[in-house]
Structure formats: C-alpha cells, structure tokens
Amino acid sequence: MTARSRSAAVALAVLVLAASIPARAADPTPAAIQDLSKPAFDTTTALYDMANRAEKSGRTVVAEVDGRAITLADLGDAIRDLPSSLGALPFEQLYPGVLERLIKQQALVIRAQHQGLDEDPVVRRRVKAAADHVLTNELLQREIGKSITEQALLDRYAQTVAGKPGPEEVRVRLIMVGTEAEATALIAELKAGGDFAAIAQRSSKDTTAPVGGDLGFVRRDGLNPEVGAVAFSQVAGQLTSYPVASNGAWFIVKTEERRQQSTPPFPVVRDRLRQELLRAGVPSVTEAAMKDVFAREYNITGKDNGGSETGSSTPN
C-alpha cells in the first residue's frame, strides 16, 4: 500500500468512526449558562458504550491459529502480566508484539498437543499446579483486596513511609570473571594502582564491561545477595580485598558512592503498599479456608501411621 493509499484508508476509517458516533447537541458555552441548579451539559447520553466491555472483549477475536481464537481479553491478560516498565507503554505500541507472541505461543501449544505432551502425567501435574496457583492468587486478591481501601493505603503510608528516609543506594563498579585465581590476580593489579574502569573493559565478562563495570546507583535488592552484602558493607571508595563468589562466577566489587534517597511520595509506593497489605492478609484467609476442609497427612511412603489431621472434624 502506498503512502497516499494509506492516508486515504485512514481518512475513510475516521469518517466511518465519526458516522457511528450518535449526534448530540452542541454543549453551551460557560457564558450562556443561566440556571446552575441542573447540569447544563448532556450527562445522560453515552457517547461511547462501555457497558459489558469485559464480556465483549472476551468475544472479540483478534487472531486465529488453526481455528483457535485469540481474543482481546487474552491480549489484555498478557499485557497485564508484562513488567510494569513495559506495561506502561501505549496500547498501540504493545498490541502487535504481544499479539505476535500469543500467536507463536498457540502454535507451540498445538505442536505440544500433537506430540501428546498434554497427556503426559508429569505435564498434567504441572498444569494442575499452575491452575491451582492462579485460583489461589485470585481468591487472595478478591478476599483481601476488598478490604484494601485508598484510606487503608494512606494510613499504611503514614505509618511506615511518611517522615522516614528513603532507601539507601550505592554506586557500584564490578568485574566478573570465571575463576577465583583470575579474580585474585586482578585485585592485586588494582591495589598496585590499576585503573578499575580500564581493567573492567579488558577483563570483565559482565554486561557492564563496556562502561568500565559501572552499575550506577542501585538498591541492595537490585544486586545478587553476595554482591549486595559486600557493596553495602563498604565505605565509599573501598574495593573488595577478596573475590566474591556468586551465581557460578567471581566478582570484584568497588563501592564508589553512597547516598540516602528522600522519602518517596505516596503514588510511587502505592502498589508496594498494596502488596504488603495483601501479604499481611494471607494468614487469616488461609486459616478460614482450613476450617472449611478436612486434611489428613501421611508418611513419605503414603501410609497412614497416625499422621496429623487438620481442618473440620469430619471429612466433607
């Protein structure tokens, strides 16, 4: 399609959309409003019908793979599962890539079913476990979530965040190598006056090697536990005296700077506070669920040798 024909198609689509929108009387200008006891604007005629949109999205087919439908609701679920940094992108940017991924995923599902993998006992157990996980999370979200009001979130912010300093951050440089001996030799070179950035560019296997091993400012939970423990225990400018083992590699860690973040505003931590309240409510919901069921434990051989029983006094 040429650029001119694409422009014509877009113009036609706009005209069709405009024709589908019900006509409505022009709203009055503020200066023309005389009676303020009732709305001066039409607040009863819906310009866009959003009723039952969840049900409609479940019926709206956006792709088919061997006759299997992928719906707009499937697309929405996939977008909600994206990392927040990606999920915040405009829908029109996410749509083609997410749809392509769903199509490829469905093709793989079909291939797996043709090979009979859906009948494999191990696979069936894993599918059941995945379904159980989804049901559990949905139950917790619904039962606990209904009590998490905006005021509850604001109260938790006032109790745990407001007036307190933000998280501590350190600026870290690191060099990653494959053996302890190699890391020890590089530490000796650094202590003899070697430039950390130059040595990192030459010897590090980490993705930060091109920028001299500079990770920038990071919080402790953004680092491997072993690397984070060292980086946050050092003063600014300090270099590790010994190699640090983590995830099958050896690290040399230098703490460049330390800083304390200011108190984060409520919108920044709102989602985190909601997750905290959800976790806090899990024990009570679990306890209530256990009271409604009968559970009996067996030993590792599957035999009943007087194992413990929990829940209601009689089986359902």
Cα separation of the two ends of the chain: 65
Which residue segments constitute the domains of the chain, with CATH numbers given? 58-119 (1.10.8), 135-165+264-316 (no CATH), 168-260 (3.10.50.40)
Q: What is the pLDDT of residue 165?
A: 86
Which pLDDT does position 43 carry in this prediction? 57
pLDDT of the residue at 81: 85
Encoded tokens for 167: 């998280």
Give the pLDDT of residue 99: 94
C-alpha dist (Å) from residue 182 to 208, 226, 244, 262: 18, 18, 12, 40
Q: For residue range 211-233, what is the model confidence (pLDDT) as tens digits?
A: 999 999 998 888 889 999 999 99
User: pLDDT by residue (tens digit) across 294-310?
Assistant: 998 888 888 876 656 66
pLDDT of amino acid 308: 60
- This prediction has a pTM of 0.56
Q: What's residue 142's pLDDT? A: 93
Q: Collect the ranges in the chain with pLDDT lower than 50.
A: 1-27, 30, 50
